[in-house]
Structure 1
């Protein structure tokens, strides 16, 4: 089963030794209207409210799905469809916020013509992995948190570049798309929509036996993220995101610790 409007008729080649991974399709870098780039995050405020509400609903539905999957080894069809639709909706909004696409996301689960699409497949789940999913997801969640924090720290630079050039250059697009895809796969795993652990942060390998260049293969691909081919600059940016995210967390932890110490001293008789 696929998530309805997010299904692509073409099969996706298994990755990593035959394991199928959830697919994110985002259009290749293209010109964007500068005025929408200028006010992108303001325009998306209503969408952020909807995403927050859907996230709350998805949390409770996931809890129900966790109990069901623990006993049956799979998500019930209705829960799978709902969580898949929520994931598709939030992914569309996040892609727009990250300047990966210029089209405004619709206020609807069904968006067959929207350029950002996902594909997840209903797959039997390992009950033991379901039981410990909350703990298993922690390492990937930490990586995603560092990536998102690091991207946020430099997002204003990406915004300025897109505002001046009217598009995201390929390395900036590639690094941002890699963060978006990893976060999408993390959410799919957390929602129990897939047994596949999030991976592929540094992009995909060129097709086996291909004699074309990475840029030519990327141009011929049906989307900018299938396959996701990253150049050296994009990979360096991903490492930078991780380092900036780590530095930010360390600074925040240190600041909070110092504030707690000062508060403790001030209340000491």
Structure 2
């Protein structure tokens, strides 16, 4: 894939590749599929749980291998990359970002509107060794973001059901959550050395021409003022839920396995 000008690495990212997410602009959605979206996705959730169990052991084995070789073995990297892409497609559908049913295909699906790009490469052994400690700040942010979104998900669902499409600001905030979660999960699985970042979208890179053509609605992800407000609101609501709700478990273990397939950030493969 040709790398657009705006996606060129900054000086502090010279040795890392930040995973990217491609989602098309929000489109009209069928109200019937919106109404029963999570029911339709039950088979996908079951598959995710099964694949996630395998991914858990692959991640553990990959962690030991990366300590000695500073990179994931190719078979493990391929499996974890495929799993990350699969779960991202399912999550995008569950979050009402697209109205196309995700295929039961593990390999990359170029025709599907939701795609990711990861580039497993060389890892810092010290960062691999202390990955569980390094993950704590990102895990807190991801947990707050996801908790805030799910606290108001019924409202979001009603909005899409009534309007027949997702309003642009809501799309931006939801896509920002999915992208950050995908990057967090990629870092957990050691598919990248790049720490999860750009929660509030992609800032303008120095020297980027205004005519640089975007690849998709999320590449680059430009948040409007309303989208930024929603992201902030989700984080605040998530903080309130965590402080006063008393029901939020540690990140990646928030839901039981029956719901885990639908919830970004809730994974059965994370060894942490």
Q: Structure 1 length as normaliser, TM-score? A: 0.85
Q: Kindly state the Cα deviation for residue 102 of structure 1 after the two structures are TM-superposed.
A: 0.6
Contact 2:119–2:192, Cα closer than 8 Å, also in 1: yes
For structure 1, the 5+ residue unaligned runs are 1-8, 257-269
Separation of aligned partners in 2, 1:15 and 1:194 = 14
- CA RMSD of superposed structures (Å): 1.9
Separation of aligned partners in 2, 1:158 and 1:55 = 27
Q: Name the structure 1 match of 2:225.
A: 232
1:47–1:231 CA distance, 2 compared to 1 (3 A): same
Q: Kindly state the Cα deviation for residue 16 of structure 1 after the two structures are TM-superposed.
A: 4.3
Contact 2:241–2:248, Cα closer than 8 Å, also in 1: no
Separation of aligned partners in 2, 1:122 and 1:174 = 27
1:201–1:51 CA distance, 2 compared to 1 (3 A): same
Q: Identify which of 153, 156, 164 aligns with 1:158.
A: 156
Q: Secondary structure at the match of 2:116?
A: strand
Separation of aligned partners in 2, 1:90 and 1:67 = 24
Q: Identify which of 54, 57, 61 aligns with 2:58.
A: 61
Q: Kindly state the Cα deviation for residue 209 of structure 1 after the two structures are TM-superposed.
A: 4.8
Q: Does 1:48 pair with 2:45?
A: yes
Separation of aligned partners in 2, 1:68 and 1:55 = 19
Contact 1:73–1:127, Cα closer than 8 Å, also in 2: yes
Which stretch has the larger CA shift, 91-100 or 27-36? 27-36
Contact 1:96–1:105, Cα closer than 8 Å, also in 2: yes
Q: For 1:162-200, what per-residue CA distance to the aligned partner results, in whole angstroms no more than 9, with x for missing partners?
A: 111111111000000000000000000000000000001
Contact 1:85–1:109, Cα closer than 8 Å, also in 2: yes
Separation of aligned partners in 2, 1:254 and 1:74 = 37
Q: Identify which of 185, 198, 201 aligns with 1:200.
A: 198
Q: Kindly state the Cα deviation for residue 252 of structure 1 after the two structures are TM-superposed.
A: 3.0
Which gives a bigger RCO, structure 1 or 2 (Cα 8 Å, sep 6+)?
A: 2
Q: Secondary structure at the match of 1:24?
A: strand
**Rg larger in structure:** 1
Q: Name the structure 2 match of 1:10.
A: 2
Q: Secondary structure at the match of 2:170?
A: helix
